[in-house]
Amino acid sequence: MKDKFYNYILNLQDQICQGLETVEGKAKFREDIWDRPEGGGGRTRVIENGNVIEKGGVNISAVHGKLPEAMRQLFNVGEADFFACGLSLVIHPKNPMAPTVHANWRYFEMYDDNGKVINSWFGGGQDLTPYYLFEEDAIHFHQTCKTACDKHSPEFYPTFKKQCDEYFWNTHRNEARGLGGLFF
């Protein structure tokens, strides 16, 4: 699964960046390929000062190594190896009538001493933060999220939406930040 997901996010990063550059017209993504000394690395892409996008990043990483102490305690395991990969993006438009979008999709594996997968999961989320709310945009965003979730389970959308809504609830203002999304 790790190779399949990693190849998926490699291609997805290319597709997203190409699509944004097409819409942008002026600015192009700068790329930085980096290595993690403990194992793995990533590809960071940043775009800024465009006609449409003020600043944005579409980044991928694939890292591996020994499970850090904090995670060993969290999962109540001894020494273990891990692999994690994901794609994250943040896009801030120039036009305040267009929303900011955040997303992070990731996959994680833990291994026993023999290299056998002992646990694996997907995680992440996505949310939309409009500066000016257009009801039809909110409906479209949430319907797209629901349609994707419903392909797998009718419980996913309400569960993941609730987790996102709770995370972005501003108790001091008694209001949500943005129009929510999904957290899983």
CA dist 80 and 118 (Å) reads: 9
- For the question of residue 172 being annotated catalytic, the response is no
CA dist 169 and 180 (Å) reads: 9
Do the Cβ atoms of 133 and 96 come closer than 8 Å? no
CA dist 124 and 130 (Å) reads: 20
CA dist 131 and 144 (Å) reads: 20
Query: What is 9-41 written as a DSSP string?
Result: HHHHHHHHHHHHHHHHSS---EEEEEE-TTSEE
Of 64, 92, 102, 142, catalytic: 102
Enzyme catalytic residues: 102
